[in-house]
Amino acid sequence: MRVVIQRVLNASVDINGKETRQIKEGLVVLLGIENADNEGDVEWLTGKIVNLRIFDDHEGVMNFSLKDMDGDILLISQFTLHASTKKGNRPSYIRASKPDKAIPLYKQFIEKLNQHLGKAVQTGEFGADMKVSLVNNGPVTIVIDTQQKE
């Protein structure tokens, strides 16, 4: 699993031009799932995300986690995080999992985030046309890949 985490003041996603989901201060998490991923990756990565100390304390030092801040998460599935651009100019997405594997892991990811936070996260919709808007705070943007956790 690969995530791009952005600390935000607020964010929203429009899904298929019909529905909008939004959060206030917290994190936008773009999630890409690949064939090598499993339930252990879900557990490790969700715990890492909610406990990352990337929010400012009263002295302006990044000492607080999302849990400390009681912040929100907007989770967006994004297979393009596994794009390979080694050959040619058209990216290949061969490492990205097909829906039959990715959707169950995506649903587990949502459930684990809900458990870790003690509240529901907002999500996009797997495979839908989505327009994401956000105000990046800092800016703070972090990339984590479970295949490189050691």
Catalytic residues: 80
What is 73-98 written as a DSSP string?
EEEEE-GGGG-B-SSSSS-B-TTBPP
Residue entry with tokens 């990216």: 91
Tokens of 63: 């000492």
Tokens of 128: 């839908």
Tokens of 147: 């295949």
